[in-house]
Amino acid sequence: MAYLLRRLLHGVMVLVGVSVLSFLFVQLAPGEFFSDMRLNPQISPETIASLRAQYGLDRSLPVRYVNWVRSVAKGEWGYSFAYGLPVSQVIWSRARNTLLLTVTAALLAWLISIPLGTYAAERRNRWGDRVTVAGSAVLLTVPDLLLALALLIFAIRTNAFAAGAMASTQFADLGTFANVKDVAAHFTLPVTALVLGTLPIFFRHVRASMIEALALPSISAARGHGIPRRRILFRYALPAAANPLISLFGFSIASLLSASLLVEVVMSWPGMGPMLLEAILARDLYVVIGAVMLSTLFLVAGNFIADVLLYLSDPRIRQGAV
């Protein structure tokens, strides 16, 4: 348990460090939400000063940070200038939509990459391995933006998928089954973009880990005893290759989150990506900080889940040898 407590403490320290740095960088950025109001002659300087005092912008940076931490403890995460609401109410609905994309894309990418990477490793340097490696290399060279745009253009021209938003305009008038079908139709395109963008990375890590595992003396001994090939691959080699793949799982959350923000903007998915872009342009600083902190929280949670899986799968960690 000491290992998990250390990892949990490390995650908390990461959250504190990111909060300090993001608060500092956003606060030091030029301009603020009320800057444009000064250009309007109908708004008096006294009104602007009153608004800045209302949101605490007239106080020093350390005082603003402490007030923000107190707001986080209350579950508010500060107040949005644009919406006039606690940031938590603004971002949680968007965060659910982003998690729906990233979790589904992560599961699909891993479900595809594990058997595909295992197949390629077992047939190393044969035509099957060469084809899959070449395909992953092609996908790696395609930028996420270009991939998302290509899928969007394909959907618009062929009408094969619903493009844009999370649901159609008739969503409220549809039945339960029709609502699920409608969301799935809009859901397919961004998930496909995320899976195609992350699959090559996962595949290459699985292949490399399996190649190392298949070269172990224990695997050679298992072959010598006549154990079936499939049992060797999935019963012996895959668990031996599991540690680096489990560690990669936590980092895959970060890569999927960064990719999903771009995909959401391109495909108009109502997640954190469009909201963060709007908040940056409007200089709604507490929404920006809230989005950054929530993304960091997802990353820390993903890494902690990976640490728990490592703790359960590797007895050396439980015994304190690693």
Give me the pLDDT at residue 175, please: 63
Give the number of other CB atoms < 10 A from CB of residue 279.
27
The arithmetic mean of pLDDT across residues 41-51, rounded, is 76
The answer, yes or no, to whether residue 103 has pLDDT greater than 80, is yes
Give me the pLDDT at residue 39, please: 67
pLDDT band at 199 (very low <50, low <70, confident <90, very high): confident
Give me the pLDDT at residue 167, please: 66
The answer, yes or no, to whether residue 256 has pLDDT greater than 80, is no
Contact 55, 21 (CB under 8 A): no
Give the number of other CB atoms < 10 A from CB of residue 218.
12
pLDDT band at 320 (very low <50, low <70, confident <90, very high): low
Cα–Cα dist 101/275, whole Å: 15
Among 95, 198, 194, 182, residue whose Cα is nearest residue 140: 198
Higher pLDDT: 183 or 105? It is 105
Nearest-10 crossing angle of helices 285-313, 87-122:
40
Cα–Cα dist 293/289, whole Å: 6
Tell me which residue has tokens 């444009």.
Answer: 36
The answer, yes or no, to whether residue 299 has pLDDT greater than 70, is yes
Residue 175 DSSP class:
-
Q: How many CA atoms lie within 13 A of 212 on its CB side?
A: 12
Give me the pLDDT at residue 174, please: 64
The arithmetic mean of pLDDT across residues 207-217, rounded, is 85
CA end-to-end span of the chain, whole Å? 13
Give me the pLDDT at residue 243, please: 77
Cα–Cα dist 184/176, whole Å: 12
Cα–Cα dist 207/55, whole Å: 53
Mean pLDDT (the chain, rounded): 80
The answer, yes or no, to whether residue 322 has pLDDT greater than 60, is no
Give me the pLDDT at residue 179, please: 67
Contact 209, 241 (CB under 8 A): yes
Q: What would the two tokens of residue 203 be?
A: 């595949």
Per-residue pLDDT of 114-154, as tens digits, reads: 888 888 888 888 888 888 888 888 888 888 788 888 888 88
Give me the pLDDT at residue 168, please: 65
Cα–Cα dist 100/104, whole Å: 6
Per-residue pLDDT of 66-85, as tens digits, reads: 888 888 888 888 888 888 88
Q: Which domains does the chain have, with CATH numbers?
A: 93-278 (1.10.3720.10)
Residues found in the chain: 322
Three-state DSSP class for residue 79: strand
The answer, yes or no, to whether residue 169 has pLDDT greater than 80, is no
pLDDT band at 4 (very low <50, low <70, confident <90, very high): confident
Contact 267, 186 (CB under 8 A): no
The answer, yes or no, to whether residue 293 has pLDDT greater than 80, is yes
Q: What angle do CA 303, 306, 312 make, to 5 degrees?
A: 145
The arithmetic mean of pLDDT across residues 261-284, rounded, is 83
Lowest mean pLDDT among 132-141, 191-200, 221-230, 284-293: 221-230
